[in-house]
Amino acid sequence: MTGKSDRQLGMGRAITRRDFVQGSSVAMAAALSSRLGAASALIPDTDAADPGAVYYPPTRTGMRGSHAGAYEVAHALARQGAAFDNPVDTGENYDLVIVGAGISGLAAAHYYRQRFGATAKILLLENHDDFGGHAKRNEFHQSGSMVLSLGGTHNLEWWQFSETVQDFMTAYGVDMKAMRKQMEFNYGEDAPNSPAMWFDESTYGVNRLIPRCHLNHQLAPETIDQIPISEAGRDSLKTFYARQDNLFAGLGEADVEALLAKISYPDFLRQYGGLTEDAVQLFHNMEHGSWGIETRALSAGEALWDGNPGIHLLGEPWPDEERNYPVAMWPDGNASLVRLMVAELIPGVAPDATPDNIAIAHFNYGNLDRPTHPVRLRLNATVVNAENTEAGVAISYVEGGQIKQVTGRHGVLACYHSVIPHLCPTLSDRQKEALQYQVKIPLLLTNVLIRNTKALDKLGIDAVNFPGRLHGRFFLFRGISTGGYQHAMDDDGPVSLVFWGSISPPDDAVDLKSQLRGSRQKLLGLAFEDFEREVRTVLDDLLGPAGFDVNEDILAITVNRWPHGYSYEYMDLWDPDFSEGEAPHEIARQPFGAMTIANSDAGASAYTHVAIDQAYRAVNELQDSARNPAAV
């Protein structure tokens, strides 16, 4: 490590920063035992420096994702058993009340209008200070021009789309082929020396960048010789990468699949790959971005399916080094898709928005929640109770320190599964158990706006993996010119450097759900300063020798912290093979009364298209009863 002080690392620099500490929720929960006190503390006052500023959360930096004010009420409800009784009746009644304004919630509003008419009155309640859920829009303006980056959900796996999702994209003018043509970005695979690996002194005893080094590519002995682990560890890697045989030649295909499904990937590397413990450690956080979990949570079969090395031990050739993952992307990730939906549902928010300008269109947040609009979207509103009534549903939520209630004909819960039993205490025990089976996977994207890419260009890198650091890797985010935004691949800055991954769980967390909960607790326990110190230390040690100045070249930092991130997917090592219709997510998503359940959790798959498919299903499961006369 540099051994530099916080001041030397630039921690005192007057960049836009926020320090939201998880510990504040503990004191807050105590005040919430039966009534909501100290209400103003729940809402993040990120515009306090400029009280006259227009409300526009995408420009906020510091701690984002699950930010202060977004989760404390829910934690008080679910963790401390806080009661939120005697809500104030707002007198508002709707055809549909949606809990959650992420992709699935907004898609539910779209499908409800298709089914029940464009004049249907809809209210979306969102606990965060922005819409979109994990499709969080990150804007930087500290460089004099707008730079967009990724806040969470960020691509379209268009080849997996159902006909329903294809039709949905067509309705919003989304042309995946055109987007692909306007996209040069390839997750940092294209620079001369990328992808690279960097080993830090605090973990490995030396700061060392190894160009053109990726564990998923067949490594040459001279490359392995640079890896700062034991000589025995390097020798085991050389043997592993040089082998080309079939260890299971005497077994049938089904037997091989069964074997690979029952052994963890690290154990596969130890037992069949012959790797030493310090060599296996290099692989631990390789899946922090794509899966959000440690490789010890993956079976060997799952890891090999995802392109991790080892297929050559099954008689297969090494895959082509250049992996092309042909997703379609906007320059703010799927936040542009969310913006297209909001602009269509609430035209007064962005009347001039089109698919061709959606990434740069002006959005007026002041028009999200107008009584004159058929569709309304209410931010900073955390739902605490959802009940069936004779007339439909009653939904209670906390806003501005007050407990309020609205009613509706129908309700769609487009929030994550494990919170629903706390919102709906009258659910059956069987459905509650199924809802709580799925533990969300933590996710982390820390965006660092840097002044230019000169240091990275000098080193010939635009993506680096860090086997010993908090974040698993970073990559430069440029080369997407879609929705009216332009950012050429050869633009040398300003640019966002995206640190992507998750948080390693405690070593003593054995089963997958314990690992996920342990990662979540560690993530919530980190303050913004912890992330800032981490990225400044990494950039100083890695890029400092190439001329990067952490005091001058870091313009802003945004931490997108998602303790409840990716949806839980059934895993070989941890989940049984459920009979059709008996999987927890299938039991969990059953309609009850006038309410149905959407979101990607209901599909047990963490993808945008799954969230849309589940919204379509949820709306079509709603009771087709007569219009609630109270809503007329």
163-207 pLDDT, tens digit each? 999 999 999 999 999 999 999 998 888 889 999 999 999 999 999
Residue 552: Cβ within 10 Å count = 10
50 within some domain: no
Strands (E) located in 296-365: 331-334
What token pair was written down for 89? 């009746």
The pLDDT of residue 2? 52
Q: Please tell me whether residues 232 and 304 are part of one structural domain.
A: yes
Strand 463-465 vs strand 196-199: parallel, antiparallel, or unpaired? Answer: parallel
The pLDDT of residue 322? 61
Backbone angle region of 29, left / alpha / beta, with phi > 0 → left and psi within -120 to 50 → alpha: alpha
Q: Please tell me whether residues 302 and 383 are part of one structural domain.
A: no
Query: What are the φ/ψ torsions at residue 475 (nearest 5 degrees)?
Result: -150, 150
Q: Which amino acid is at 201?
A: E
Q: Tokens 């989304």 label which residue?
A: 174
C-alpha to C-alpha distance for 303 and 210, rounded to whole angstroms: 24
CA 125 distance to own-chain centroid: 20
496 within some domain: no
411 neighbors 595 (Cβ within 8 angstroms): yes
157 within some domain: no
Q: Please tell me whether residues 307 and 388 are part of one structural domain.
A: no
C-alpha to C-alpha distance for 357 and 66, rounded to whole angstroms: 28
232 within some domain: yes
Q: Residue 123: give its domain's CATH number.
A: 3.50.50.60
39 within some domain: no
Q: Maximum Cα–Cα distance for the chain, whole Å?
A: 77
Task: Name the pTM for this structure.
Answer: 0.92
238 within some domain: yes
The pLDDT of residue 43? 26
The pLDDT of residue 625? 62
Residue 176: Cβ within 10 Å count = 18
252 CB contacts (<8 Å, ≥6 apart)?
none
Burial classification of residue 86, based on how many CB atoms lie within 10 Å of its CB (0-12 exposed, 13-18 middle, 19 or more buried)? exposed
Taking only Cα atoms into account, the Rg of the chain, rounded to an integer number of angstroms, comes to 25
Domain that includes residue 414, residue range:
83-131+368-437+577-631
Q: Please tell me whether residues 309 and 239 are part of one structural domain.
A: yes
Q: Please tell me whether residues 306 and 395 are part of one structural domain.
A: no
548 within some domain: no
The pLDDT of residue 5? 84
- Give per-residue pLDDT as tens, 93-150: 999 999 999 999 999 999 999 999 999 999 999 999 999 999 999 999 998 899 999 9
The residues of the chain scoring below 70 in pLDDT are 1-2, 12-53, 321-323, 625-632
110 within some domain: yes
598 neighbors 412 (Cβ within 8 angstroms): yes
Domain count, the chain: 2
